[in-house]
């Protein structure tokens, strides 16, 4: 779908931009360098020429990458993820692809799953840069540095409150970065008997278990725009948490929200506190949950051409536009 004039006082009604041969269409990214739109589904990544602001494409999207080319894990517990995420780095001319796992906790038979890949814009030279990462559904690029950030939805059925869910600068690690799932989580912590965790990645930002991070964006550090956010937000990471289905006595265990993490370069200003996964970030948008009642669930998140923050809500089927107080 496409919403034109999204920064105007009265945006246009949504329109269909193009059709894909399968679903679900979970990932979307745009390249200003190539004037191409990239879209990802359960088994493929597609590309179609598109000039921002121009008419909808008339031809069909081209398949440039195939994912989930093999079977689900033989010991899959049925928690099969079908989402594929994409992000495009115009600075380095790279396409990144995040592919979710075929289970909650298993050893994958299909090595395209539970991984992050990088490729050229045409899908060639595809290779893996991160493995054993359960569901890196929130992918985003720092427009200033080209760093690739991933927000991850963690596994279930571990001791209550674990594992912490995380966001991390994937590009800061030597390829192929090993995030350890399902054996190792958090700070080299083993959740499988006999697991060797000393060589796994320790993420740089932690959130409470079950937060379900599925959208992320870096607010441009050098932005000059009509609705630009104050300086303290520039260069920081916004994360959309979908919330959990896990229940406590008083309500769902993790509430939907949009969180903000201050960064200095691509390093969190506040380091991880392994006793409290709430120390590094602040709730930026909340109020979506009251006990077992929910009023929305944030998903995708993006920064507009004039600096507004856009947040999609798949519970109410709406998009929120957020601007600094007093700006219309």
Q: Kindly state the tokens that stand for 294.
A: 């929910």
SS3 sequence of 209-241 = CCCCEEEEEECCCCCCCCCCCCHHHCCCEEEEE
pLDDT at 326: 67
What pLDDT digit, counting tens, does each position of 166-192 carry? 999 999 998 899 999 999 999 999 999
Q: Kindly state the tokens that stand for 66.
A: 């195939």
**DSSP character at residue 76:** -
- Mean predicted lDDT score pLDDT of the chain: 95
What pLDDT digit, counting tens, does each position of 77-86 carry? 889 999 999 9
pLDDT at 220: 97
Q: Kindly state the tokens that stand for 78.
A: 């049925």
Give the C-alpha separation, 132 to 145, whole Å: 25
Give buried/exposed letters for 204-216 (b at 16+ CB in 10 A, else e): bbbbbbbbbbbbb
Give buried/exposed letters for 14-26 (b at 16+ CB in 10 A, else e): eeebbebeeeebb
> Do 187 and 202 contact (CB within 8 A), yes or no?
yes
What pLDDT digit, counting tens, does each position of 203-230 carry? 999 999 999 999 999 999 999 999 999 9
Give the C-alpha separation, 257 to 238, whole Å: 10
What's the pLDDT band for 327 if we cut at 50, 70, 90? low
Give the C-alpha separation, 4 to 265, whole Å: 32
Measured CA distances, 230 to 8, 19, 226 (Å)? 20, 38, 11
What pLDDT digit, counting tens, does each position of 116-161 carry? 999 999 999 999 999 999 999 999 999 999 999 999 999 999 999 9
> Do 215 and 298 contact (CB within 8 A), yes or no?
yes
pLDDT of residue 285 exceeding 70, the answer is yes
> Do 315 and 325 contact (CB within 8 A), yes or no?
no
Q: Kindly state the tokens that stand for 157.
A: 């059925």
What's the pLDDT band for 58 if we cut at 50, 70, 90? confident
pLDDT at 133: 98
What's the pLDDT band for 109 if we cut at 50, 70, 90? very high
Q: Which residue(s) pair with 178 in the sheet?
A: 131
Instruction: Reply yes or no: is the peptide bond before residue 163 cis, omega within 30 of 0.
Output: yes
| Residue 36 exposure: Cα atoms within 13 Å on the Cβ side | 25
Q: Which residues contact 203 (CB under 8 A, 6 or more apart)?
A: 152, 166, 167, 168, 179, 186, 272
Q: How many residues does the chain have?
A: 328
What pLDDT digit, counting tens, does each position of 6-18 carry? 999 999 999 999 9
Comparing C-alpha atoms, which of 63, 59, 72, 180 is closest to residue 119?
A: 63
């Amino acid at each position: 779908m496409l919403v034109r004039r999204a920064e105007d006082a009265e945006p246009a009604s949504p329109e269909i931009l193009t059709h894909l041969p399968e679903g679900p269409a979970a990932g979307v990214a745009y390249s200003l360098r190539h004037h191409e739109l990239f879209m990802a589904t359960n088994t493929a990544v597609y590309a179609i020429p598109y000039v921002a602001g121009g008419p909808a494409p008339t031809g069909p999207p081209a398949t440039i990458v195939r994912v989930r080319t093999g079977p689900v894990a033989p010991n899959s517990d049925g928690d099969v993820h079908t989402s594929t995420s994409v992000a495009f780095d115009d600075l380095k001319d790279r396409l990144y692809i995040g592919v979710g796992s075929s289970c909650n906790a298993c050893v994958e038979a299909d090595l395209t799953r539970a991984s992050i890949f990088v490729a050229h814009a045409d899908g060639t030279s595809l290779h893996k840069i991160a493995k054993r990462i359960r569901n890196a559904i929130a992918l985003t690029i720092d427009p200033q540095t080209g760093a690739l950030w991933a927000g991850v939805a963690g596994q279930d059925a571990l001791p209550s409150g674990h594992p912490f869910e995380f966001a991390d600068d994937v590009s800061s690690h030597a390829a192929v970065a090993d995030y350890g799932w399902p054996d190792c989580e958090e700070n080299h912590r083993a959740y499988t008997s006999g697991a060797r965790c000393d060589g796994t990645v320790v993420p740089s930002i932690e959130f409470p278990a079950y937060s379900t991070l599925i959208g992320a964006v870096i607010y441009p550090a050098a932005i000059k725009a009509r609705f630009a956010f104050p300086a303290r937000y520039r260069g920081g990471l916004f994360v959309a948490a979908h919330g959990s289905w896990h229940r406590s006595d008083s309500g769902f265990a993790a509430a939907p929200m949009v969180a903000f993490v201050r960064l200095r370069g691509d390093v969190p200003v506040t380091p991880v506190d392994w006793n409290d996964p709430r120390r590094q970030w602040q709730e930026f948008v909340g109020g979506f949950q009251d006990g077992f009642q929910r009023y929305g669930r944030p998903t995708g998140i993006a920064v507009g051409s004039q600096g507004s923050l856009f947040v999609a809500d798949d519970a109410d089927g709406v998009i929120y536009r957020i601007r600094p107080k007093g700006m219309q």
